């Protein structure tokens, strides 16, 4: 499991696939998911194979998730906000 090296920090809570995930204030959804041990964020639109954050800098588009019902959002570019409902992007959701 990933670990956080420094103790406390302000916590922001959102849900991922219905489970509560704690993020540090100001960090991206992808970072919070990785810290929570969630490495799979979407299914490939071609084969359905699982994919997860790869570059963490907005260029690979592997971390696409659905946020509050809107698909194709880059989890590594979007800062976690309280109450966000985040879900894995499944293969049948059309990529923009």
Partner 1 sequence: MNSYDVVVVGAGPAGMACATEASRAGLSTLVLDEQPRPGGQIYRDIEVSDPGRRALLGKDYGEGARIAEAFRASKAEYRSGAVVWNIDSEKRIDYSAGGRSHSVQAKSLVVATGAIERPTPMPGWTLPGVTTVGAVQILLKTSGIVFEDLVLVGSGPLLWLAATQMIAAGAPPKAIVETVPRSRYREAARHFAKALRGWRYLAKGFAMMRAVKKAGVPVHSDAADIAIEGEIAVTAVTFTSGGTRQRIETAHVALHQGVVPNQQITRLMNCKHRFDDSQRAFLPVVDESFETSIPGVYVAGDGAGIGGAKSAEMRGRLVAMRIAEKVGNRAGEAAKLRTELAKDAAVRPLLEALYAPAADVLAPADATMVCRCEEITAGQIREAVALGAPGPNQVKSFLRAGMGPCQGRMCGLAVSEIIAAAKGETPSTVDYYRIRPPLKPLLLSELAGLGAEEPREAAE
Q: Which residues bind partner 1 (CB under 8 A)?
A: 1-6, 24, 26-28, 31-32, 34-35, 39-41, 44-47, 49-62, 64, 70, 72, 77, 79, 95-96
DSSP 57-72: SSSS-TTEEEETTEEE
Which DSSP helix (H) or strand (E) runs through 35? helix 29-35
Minimal distance in Å, beta carbon 28 to partner 1? 7
Q: Is the Cβ of residue 13 or residue 60 nearer to partner 1 in the bound state?
A: 60
DSSP H/E element including 74? strand 70-74
Smallest separation, CB 70 to partner 1 (Å): 7
Residue 30 CB, nearest approach to partner 1 (Å): 9
How many whole angstroms separate alpha carbon 31 and alpha carbon 14? 13
């Amino acid at each position: 499991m990933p670990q956080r090296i420094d103790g406390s920090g302000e916590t922001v809570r959102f849900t991922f696939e219905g489970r509560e995930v704690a993020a540090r204030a100001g960090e991206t959804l992808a970072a919070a998911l990785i810290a929570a041990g969630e490495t799979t964020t979407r299914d490939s639109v071609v084969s359905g194979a699982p994919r997860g954050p790869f570059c963490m800098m907005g260029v690979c588009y592997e971390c696409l998730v659905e946020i509050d019902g809107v698909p194709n959002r880059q989890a590594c570019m979007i800062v976690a906000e309280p109450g966000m409902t985040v879900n894995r992007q499944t293969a049948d959701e059309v990529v923009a």
